[in-house]
Amino acid sequence: MQFKGRIITSSLVFIINSLYMTYYFVTDGSVSWIEMIGFPIMVSTAWFFGKQFDQAQWYLSRLKESNAELDSLFNNSASFLWSSDIIKRKTTVSKGIKTLLGLDLKEFEKDFEFWITKVHKDDREKIKHFYQELLSGKPAKCDWRYKDKNGEVKWLETFGNPVFDDSGRTKKLNGVANDITYRKQMEETLHTMAFYDHLTGLPNRNLLHEHIHQALSHSTQHHALMLFDLDRFKLINDTLGHTMGDLLLKEVSNRMTRLITDHSILARYGGDEFIIFQKNTSYPEVAALAERVIHEFSNPIIVNGNPFFISPSIGISLYPAHGDSSELLIKHADTAMYQAKENGGNGYHFYDCELDEKNKKIMRIEAGLRKALENNEFTLVYQPQIHLKTGQVVGAEALIRWESPEYGLISPSDFIPIAEKTGLIVPIGEWVLETACRQNKKWQQEGLQHIPIAVNVSGYQLQQSHFTTSVKRLLQALELDPNFLEIEITESVVQNKEQATMLLKELKALGVKISVDDFGTGYSSLSYLQHLPIDKLKIDKSFVDDITTNSSGRAIVQTIINMGNNLHFNVTAEGIEHEQQAAFLMENECCFGQGYLFYKPLSAEEMARVMVKNDRRIEAGIG
């Protein structure tokens, strides 16, 4: 056996295997040279120990990694580990506590319950419950708030697990706490977005529904829901822009917030609609609150130095009388609110069951109107207009009738207002105008008397920019002389003097006649009617009814007749039903009239027979 190299350590290893010996030298801290003498079995032994050395190196590497990970956990600034020894009453925490709370580790070691003092006062009950769960031997989790070294409130998410002794009793509590402040802030932001209105900061409809649901679920008291919107708010938005409208809504919310008590919630339901839900209240208390809301709007709302005079329309529903859910209460309050608007706005209305029936009827009529034209459900009737002294037919008024296959005959007073609100009055009005003109041309072609036919035209039709052009094309297409078409307008149309003057002059230039229907029921003045190209005034039936019973009614009719004649208008009285009425009108020089005393509205065939008789009377020189 030969040795090479100088042995400088005492790490000479003798391995005895049977009758052979192997020498392993380490020089200068590394393997320098090995010489083995023996049989091949000696090589196998060396390989085995080499493998054991490699495994030892791998385990050492993994141990270092584990130590590094453990050290990372203990030094993590966003979390910390904690351990509470129940027996020794000692708490140990990792270094992360210093970064999060700004507290020294030794403070925890001195006082076993020191950390409890750092919990936010509103979360201490939660922490106590969390601690009791762990002591009872159950894993637990708890989110709680604390103040850091700068006094800022932050959130911790804490997990804990119990450790048991041999007898199964809890001896230690171990866990980890993570900083979840950012997550809580995001949750709060999302909650605000979900439950609060971004413009006014008021609760939105989601939070309102939740609030009402809780109130109805846990109470047998009487509650009230008040829904209101702002009259003519759309006009402000359209004329001054949405930015000004938004500022106005914010001021409204600020003003309404002053009225809210601990038993109420004010929410923005959408657009210019607001809802006040008042708990544990009564009918008189709700009415008083509605009065206060209206009073708040009696003074102008100032926005950017500009005063705005707006008013609310308020609908009120009561629990449990008007509904047992937020959806029903809101629906019925909305119904009542629209009734308040129909009453003129700037007021309030309590829901009642009749409103539902009324709205159902309106919805049925609207649905039917949309298909009535297509299904040819409309017809025209004609009421003759008479020269009062001679009895001669001098004209006729075309009146629309609707025979619904589902609901029968529907009065114009029921469906015309709905047609105007929905915009359906425009196509319906076009049909009436064309049908009346076409019928008049047919009568003329049959050799009957040539008389003007009066057609009522809605203000919505007149607002159409192509109205005058449409009338002109229709007359030209039918080859009907414009003198035989009379356009009847209401007083409301002539309120805008400039627009009315321009429009009526355009129509007059075509050669058609112009009459003001239902005169006396609006606000027009004869002093400026004289500047408009008007041919006829029609005295409303309500004044004619009062002629024989009311001295004031007689005075009004006399005044209209005198002023109309002085301004060279033909004056026609509507709704004449009695001989005494006709006599009074003739005595006061009203020349023309129409009503059931003479003729009821007639079909086209009946009107044709009347015109034949009238022609014969004229030929015979009667009247």
As beta bridge partners, residue 114 has: none
More confident residue, 400 or 81: 400
User: Which of 615, 586, 594, 557 shows the shortest CA–CA distance to 454?
Assistant: 594
pTM equals 0.59
Give the pLDDT confidence of 419-463 residue by residue, as tens digits.
988 889 999 999 999 999 999 999 999 999 899 999 999 888 888
Task: Map 52-112 to HEC letters.
Answer: HHHHHHHHHHHHHHHHHHHHHHHCCCCEEEEEEECCCCEEEECCHHHHHHCCCHHHHHHCC
pLDDT tier at 199, thresholds 50, 70, 90: very high
Tokens describing residue 498: 């400039």
**Residue 183 to residue 415: CA distance in whole angstroms:** 58
Question: In the chain, pLDDT over 90 holds for what percent of residues?
Answer: 48
User: Which of 453, 388, 383, 382 shows the shortest CA–CA distance to 592?
Assistant: 388
Output phi, psi for 266, to 5 deg: -110, 130
pLDDT of residue 519: 74
Amino acid at 448: L
Q: Which helix (H) or strand (E) holds 264?
A: strand 264-270
**Residues 206 and 119 sit within 8 Å (Cβ to Cβ):** no
pLDDT value at 335 more than 80? yes
pLDDT of residue 41: 45
As beta bridge partners, residue 538 has: 572
Q: How is 565-606 classified by DSSP, letter by letter?
A: HHTT-EEEE----SHHHHHHHHHTT--EE-STTT---B-HHH
**Residue 61 to residue 57: CA distance in whole angstroms:** 6
Contacts of 534 (CB under 8 A, 6+ apart): 504, 514, 515, 516, 569
pLDDT tier at 527, thresholds 50, 70, 90: low
Span 592-611, average pLDDT: 96
Q: How many helices (H) and strands (E) does the chain have?
A: 21, 25
**Residue 212 to residue 208: CA distance in whole angstroms:** 6
More confident residue, 451 or 59: 451
Supply the angle between the helices 283-296 and 242-257 in degrees, to the nearest 10. 130
More confident residue, 342 or 594: 594
User: Which of 470, 475, 407, 463 shows the shortest CA–CA distance to 438?
Assistant: 475
As beta bridge partners, residue 391 has: none
Other CB atoms within a 10 A radius of the CB of residue 399 amount to: 18
Query: Which range among 33-42, 97-106, 159-168, 424-433 shows the weakest confidence by mean pLDDT?
Result: 33-42
Give the length of the chain: 623
CA dihedral for 109, 111, 113, 115, sign (positive or negative): negative
Report the Cα 320 to chain-centroid distance in Å: 24
**Helix/strand/coil for 185:** helix
pLDDT of residue 23: 42
pLDDT value at 371 more than 80? yes
pLDDT tier at 57, thresholds 50, 70, 90: low
**Residues 537 and 516 sit within 8 Å (Cβ to Cβ):** yes
More confident residue, 225 or 185: 225
Span 237-253, average pLDDT: 90
pLDDT of residue 477: 96
Torsion of CA 71, 73, 75, 76, to 10 degrees: 150
Question: In b/e form, how buried is each residue of 481-504, taking b as 16+ CB within 10 angstroms?
Answer: ebebbbbbbbbebbeeeeebeebb
Output phi, psi for 24, to 5 deg: -125, 115
Topology classification of domain 363-615: TIM Barrel (3.20.20)
pLDDT of residue 36: 43
pLDDT of residue 522: 53
pLDDT value at 597 more than 50? yes
Q: Does domain 75-185 have CATH number 3.30.450.20?
A: yes
Question: In the chain, pLDDT over 70 holds for what percent of residues?
Answer: 83
pLDDT of residue 10: 38
pLDDT of residue 546: 86
Amino acid at 13: V
Span 396-407, average pLDDT: 93
The half-sphere exposure of 505 on its side-chain side, counting CA atoms within 13 A, is 9
Span 137-151, average pLDDT: 86
Tokens describing residue 68: 């590094």
Question: Where are the domains positioned within the chain?
Answer: 13-69, 75-185, 199-351, 363-615
More confident residue, 136 or 463: 136
**Residue 183 to residue 197: CA distance in whole angstroms:** 22
Tokens 């607001």, residue located: 274
pLDDT tier at 61, thresholds 50, 70, 90: low
Q: Identify the architecture of domain 199-351 in CATH.
A: 2-Layer Sandwich (3.30)
pLDDT of residue 331: 93
**Residues 80 and 176 sit within 8 Å (Cβ to Cβ):** yes
Mean of all residue pLDDT scores within the chain: 84
Span 168-197, average pLDDT: 89
> For residue 450, what are the CA distances in angstroms to 105, 188, 389, 593, 605?
111, 79, 20, 18, 16
pLDDT of residue 459: 84
Strand-pair category, 378-387 with 592-593? antiparallel
Q: Which helix (H) or strand (E) holds 334?
A: helix 326-342
CA dihedral for 35, 38, 40, 46, sign (positive or negative): negative
Span 597-622, average pLDDT: 87
Most confident of 373-377, 460-464, 498-502: 373-377
More confident residue, 228 or 21: 228
DSSP H helices, 90-204, are: 96-101, 105-110, 124-135, 181-195
pLDDT value at 73 more than 60? no
pLDDT of residue 496: 63
**Residues 111 and 208 sit within 8 Å (Cβ to Cβ):** no
Most confident of 60-64, 211-215, 497-501, 613-617: 211-215
The reply to whether omega before 203 is within 30° of 0 (cis) is: no
Q: How is 161-176 classified by DSSP, letter by letter?
A: EEEE-TTS-EEEEEEE
Give the pLDDT confidence of 263-315 residue by residue, as tens digits.
899 999 999 999 999 999 999 999 999 999 999 999 899 998 889 889 999 99
Amino acid at 264: S
Tokens 């130590």, residue located: 67
pLDDT value at 19 more than 50? no
User: Which of 493, 501, 382, 498 shows the shortest CA–CA distance to 442?
Assistant: 382
DSSP category for residue 345: S
Query: Which range among 160-169, 439-448, 576-585 shows the weakest confidence by mean pLDDT?
Result: 160-169
